[in-house]
Structure 1
């Protein structure tokens, strides 16, 4: 059965000691307005795709993407055939590792602009 997927977010994983300065930097660098929300675990730089700032555990700082899909299991299977491997499941989504070691997430549809730009896969 066909499914669709697309990049929905780019996440900047930063240490808590540099969280606010990193958020201000990426806001200025990308020309996006910060949306601090105390009820959210991210600081958003809204657009399409979204850029999000999130706290990272020490040693896990970096950048990763979220791929949103209307069928998480099918997308994970497709990406595994391309060489990715599962790292761990978190609720209804997967953290995966791409060839070369880069982590990324496969998440269910979560953006308001879905399915704009999504590709269809068999």
Structure 2
């Protein structure tokens, strides 16, 4: 896992970042990670998953991001386990587990060198 993502249905992601930053005792790294106003990041240590806030139109929830160095292979592996593809967005897949939980499969992210990654042979 590379990120814990808090999906926020809000018109003001800055207010959500202020709340969650204070709730977790974390500084806000950026209020606009991609320049599109949809992502804010809270400070985490190098060996911790990213803590992101995402502005969404669906009901608020929390989801996980699974990081991979081979997007197609990881998506295929998860499909073989019973997950289904929901939607490709920007550069990642939104998927759904057999349990109904949504999660994302994302490409390797820079800056989290302390997290051990799975190695696929």
TM-score bucket of the superposed structures, by smaller chain: 0.7 to 0.9
In structure 2, the residue matched to 1:4 is none
Specify which structure has the bigger relative contact order, considering alpha-carbon pairs within 8 angstroms and separated by 6 or more residues.
Answer: 1
Runs of 4+ in 1 over 3 A off after TM superposition: 17-21
- Note the alpha carbon deviations across 1:6-59, whole angstroms, 9 max, x for none: x111111111246344322321222210123443531111212111111110x3
Deviations 1:84-105 (A, max 9, x none): 1111112432110012211111
Number of aligned positions between the proteins? 115
- TM score, norm. by length of structure 2: 0.81
- Structure 2's unaligned 5+ residue stretches are none
Q: Match of 2:98?
A: 99
| Higher percent of residues as strand | 1
Structure 1 residue ranges without an equivalent (≥5)? 1-6
RMSD (CA atoms) = 2.1
Q: After the TM superposition, which residues 19-38 of structure 1 pair with which residues of structure 2 at under 5 Å, given as runs?
A: 19-38=13-32
1:54 partnered with 2:51: no
